[in-house]
Structure 1
Amino acid sequence: MNAVPSGVCFYLSVAICWLTAEVDASWWYMGTLGSQVMCDNIPGLVNKQRQLCRQHPKVMQAIGAGMKDWISECQHQFRAHRWNCYTTARDHSLFGRLLLRSSREVAFVYAVSSAGVVYSVARACSQGELDSCSCDPSRTGSSQDARGSFDWGGCSDHVEHAMRFSQAFVDARERKERDARALMNLHNNQAGRKAVKRFMTLQCKCHGVSGSCSVRTCWSAMADFRRTGDHLRKRYNGAVQVAVNQYGTGFTAAHAHFKRPSKNDLVYSEDSPDYCVRNQDSGSVGTAGRVCNRTARGADSCEVLCCGRGYDTARLSRTTKCECKFQWCCAVHCRDCHQQVDVHTCKSQT
C-alpha cells in the first residue's frame, strides 16, 4: 500500500479535506481562532464546508484519522487488478488526474470515501471523542426481534447523525455545481453512505440465572468496514453507465439494454482506460514493476496484469520462522528457515 504522507491536506474533487492521523494536531487545541485560520487556508472548500470545518474541528480530525482505513480498504479490494487504488504522495488530490474522469473506478472512490466519513464519525461519536454527539439517543426502552423482546442498552452507533454530517459536508460542493458530474458524485456518495447503514447489526448480552438469557440487553453496531468494502466492490462490478436525462435531474441508462440504476448502484459515464501503461492524462500509473502470479489465470496473472508485455523473474532468498514448538512453560521456539523464491514482475512498455 502506498503510504499517505503526514501533514498534508488532500483535496479530492468531492472537496473532502483529509487530515492524516500523523498531522501536527496542535491547531486543534488553539481554540476557535486556530480552527478558523486552518479551515480558511484549506484549498478548494466551498463556504458551507468552511463553516462546518470551523464549527466542528474535532469531527474533521476524526475524518482525517479514518482516512487510512478507507484507502486501505480500497487497495485491498483492487490489490490484484491493473488499477489497484494507487495513491500518490506528490499530488494534492491523492489520486491524481484519475479523478477528472467519470469512470467506474472514480465512482468507487467517491462511494468508499463517503462511506469512510460515515464510519469514522459514527465511531468517534460512540467512543466519546466528540462533543456534538455520543451514542444513538433513539435506542432506548424496549424492543423486539425474531428471538423475542429485549432492552436497549450499551452504546448504539449513531449512524444517522454521521450520515447527516457526511451529507452536509461531503455533498456541499456537488450541490453547488449541479451539473452532470455533480449528479453522479452525489449519487455515488449516497450509495456509499447507505452501504454502511446496510450492515448495522444487533449485538446483545444475556442476563439471567445460569445464562438462561431471560433478559437481553442489546445495542446497534456497525459491522467491520470490510463488509462495506465487499459490498461496494460488488456494486463496482455491476456499475451502470448512465447519461443525464433531458431535465438534468436524474439518470437514464446509457444504452437501451442497460438497467436503470437503483439508489444502491454505482453510476459512471466514461469508459475506463486499460491502466496498462502510464498515462498522465488518464491518471493511469501503468502496471510496470507490479508483482504478478505466473501460474494464476485471473486478474493477478502475469498474462492479464502485464497486458501481454511479459514479465521478469528474480530469485530471492527469504527467511521465515518454521518448525515452531511449544515449550512448557511458556515459550515457543522456532527455527529460521531459508528458501529461494521466484518473484515475477511486469515488464515496462518497450
Structure 2
Amino acid sequence: MTRVYRYVVPYVIILATINFHTHIRAVSSVVALGANLLCSRVPSLTPRQRRICTRAPDAMVALSEGSSTGLRECRHQFRHQRWNCSLAGSGTFSHVVLVGSREAAYVYAVTSAGVAYSVTAACARGNISTCGCDDRKRGRYSASGWKWGGCSADINYGIKLARKFMDAREVEGDARALMNLHNNNAGRRAVRSTLSTECKCHGVSGSCTMKTCWKTLPPFTNIGKLLLQKYKKAKPVIVHKSRRRSPPYLKLRRTKRRVRRPGKSHLVYLQKSPNYCEMNPSTGSLGTVARRCNRTSRGADGCDLLCCGRGYNTQQYTRKWQCNCKFYWCCYVQCHTCQEDTEEYTCK
C-alpha cells in the first residue's frame, strides 16, 4: 500500500495543479471580460484611460471617488463666489468646459489631488490589490528616537496611478493641454506636501517609553484650502517654443528674464477670468441670477457683489422645526413646534 501511495499522490497533485491553473485561467478570462465590459460602460473615458481601467478595474472605484471628492471640495471652497465651481461638463471624468483661467487651473488641480488622495486611502484600506501600506521605512528609527511603523500612506503609488489616469486625458499637446498637465501635477504635489506624521505611544500606564509613527493623509479640505491659496497666486503663462529644445513648454508671462518657467507647485493659467455675472456656456459661467446672497455682508457673498449690481429679490417665509424635545420613560419623545419669520435674498 505504501508503494502505491508514493505514485498515486504525485499524480493527484499534478491533476490538482492542472485543474487549479485551468481554473485560474478561466477566472482570469472572466475577470478580464468583466473588466472590459465595465470599462466600456464608463462614460467620458479616453482610450488610454479605458486601458488603465481594464488593467486595474479594482482601482476604478477609488479613481471615481477621488474625482468626485475634488469637485465637491471645489464647490465648497467657491460656494460664496460668483463662480461657484459650476461646470458645463457632465459625468465624473468629463472634460471641464472652462476657458484656460484660474478657475480651470483650480478644478484640474483639485480633481487630480482628489484622485491621488482617494487611491492612497484605498491602498491603506486594502481595497486595491496592487498596493497597500508604504513599508519602506518600517522598523527604522528617527533622529528623535521613535520608530517607523503602522500603516504609512503609500503616496507614491497614489500619485503614480493618478498621474497615469488623469494625464491620459491630455493628448492634444497644445497650450491648454500643457496648462492642464502642469496643474494636475501641482494638485498631486499638494497632497504629498500635506502628509502628516501620526504617532502612538507604548509603555506602562501611557509612559510613552516607546513611540511608533507613520505617515497619514490629512482631511481633504486642508488640501482644498492650500490649493485655494495657490489659486489666488496663480501665474499667467504662455507657450514657449525653442529650436534647441523640444517639445514646447510653459513660461511665465510678463517677466524680465528671457525664459522663466513657473514653479512646479504653482497653479498656472492662460487667459483672464470672465466676471461670471452672466450666463455664458462657452466660458463655463452659469451667471448669478437666482443665486442666494447675504444682504448684510460686504464680502463676496454679499448681494452687492454677488448680484453684479443688478439688485436682488426678497422673499419672506416662515421656517418651522421641532424644538424643546423631551424624552419620557417609557418610551416616547415629545417636542414642541418652533417657528420664525425670515427672509431670503436672491439675485435678479
Same fold (TM over 0.5): yes
Equivalent position of 1:75 in the other structure: 75
Equivalent position of 1:190 in the other structure: 185
- Identify if the C-alpha distance between structure 1 residues 103 and 160 changes in structure 2 by more than 3 Å, giving closer, same or farther: same
Matched, 1:254 2:249: no
Q: Is 269-278 or 256-265 further displaced after alignment?
A: 256-265
**Any idea what SS the aligned residue of 1:83 has?**
coil
Please give the per-residue CA displacement for 1:313-342, whole angstroms capped at 9, x wherever unaligned.
001111245456799999997643200111
Equivalent position of 2:167 in the other structure: 171
Q: Which amino acid aligns with 2:308?
A: C
For 2:104 and 2:162, the matched residues in 1 are separated by 18
C-alpha contact (below 8 Å) 2:119/2:158 kept by paired residues: yes
For 2:286 and 2:93, the matched residues in 1 are separated by 10
Unaligned runs of 5+ in 2: 1-28
Please give the per-residue CA displacement for 1:150-208, whole angstroms capped at 9, x wherever unaligned.
2222211111101011111211232x432211111111000000111111111111011
**Any idea what SS the aligned residue of 2:141 has?**
strand
Matched, 1:55 2:94: no
Matched, 1:269 2:270: yes
**Any idea what SS the aligned residue of 1:157 has?**
coil
**Any idea what SS the aligned residue of 2:222 has?**
helix
Aligned counterparts, 1:151-230, within 5 A: 151-174=147-170, 176-230=171-225
Q: Which amino acid aligns with 2:161?
A: F
Q: Is 187-196 or 91-100 further displaced after alignment?
A: 91-100
Provide the alpha-carbon RMSD of the alignment: 2.8
C-alpha contact (below 8 Å) 1:97/1:280 kept by paired residues: no
C-alpha contact (below 8 Å) 1:87/1:95 kept by paired residues: no
- Identify if the C-alpha distance between structure 1 residues 173 and 314 changes in structure 2 by more than 3 Å, giving closer, same or farther: closer
C-alpha deviation, 1:263, in angstroms = 1.1
TM-score (structure 1 length as normaliser): 0.82
- Identify if the C-alpha distance between structure 1 residues 330 and 226 changes in structure 2 by more than 3 Å, giving closer, same or farther: farther
User: Alignment identity in percent?
Assistant: 45
Please give the per-residue CA displacement for 1:129-157, whole angstroms capped at 9, x wherever unaligned.
11111111213112215xx2122222111
The counterpart of 1:138, out of the listed 136, 139, 158, is 136
For 2:281 and 2:263, the matched residues in 1 are separated by 33
Equivalent position of 1:317 in the other structure: 318
Equivalent position of 2:15 in the other structure: none
For 1:61 and 1:289, the matched residues in 2 are separated by 35
**Any idea what SS the aligned residue of 1:291 has?**
coil
Please give the per-residue CA displacement for 1:221-267, whole angstroms capped at 9, x wherever unaligned.
01110110000011111111111123253322222479962111100
Higher percent of residues as helix: 2
Equivalent position of 2:22 in the other structure: none
Q: Which amino acid aligns with 2:251?
A: T
C-alpha contact (below 8 Å) 1:205/1:216 kept by paired residues: yes
Please give the per-residue CA displacement for 1:26-52, whole angstroms capped at 9, x wherever unaligned.
xxx962102113324556644432221
For 1:240 and 1:301, the matched residues in 2 are separated by 28
C-alpha contact (below 8 Å) 2:64/2:92 kept by paired residues: no
Equivalent position of 1:104 in the other structure: 102
**Any idea what SS the aligned residue of 1:144 has?**
coil
C-alpha contact (below 8 Å) 1:97/1:282 kept by paired residues: no
Q: Which amino acid aligns with 2:107?
A: V
TM-score (structure 2 length as normaliser): 0.82
Equivalent position of 2:113 in the other structure: 115
Please give the per-residue CA displacement for 1:83-138, whole angstroms capped at 9, x wherever unaligned.
101246xx536699962521111111100010011011011100011111111121
Equivalent position of 1:11 in the other structure: none
C-alpha contact (below 8 Å) 1:86/1:95 kept by paired residues: no
Equivalent position of 1:5 in the other structure: none
C-alpha contact (below 8 Å) 2:45/2:94 kept by paired residues: no
C-alpha contact (below 8 Å) 2:187/2:227 kept by paired residues: yes
Equivalent position of 2:25 in the other structure: none
C-alpha deviation, 1:58, in angstroms = 1.1
Equivalent position of 2:339 in the other structure: 338
For 1:78 and 1:240, the matched residues in 2 are separated by 19
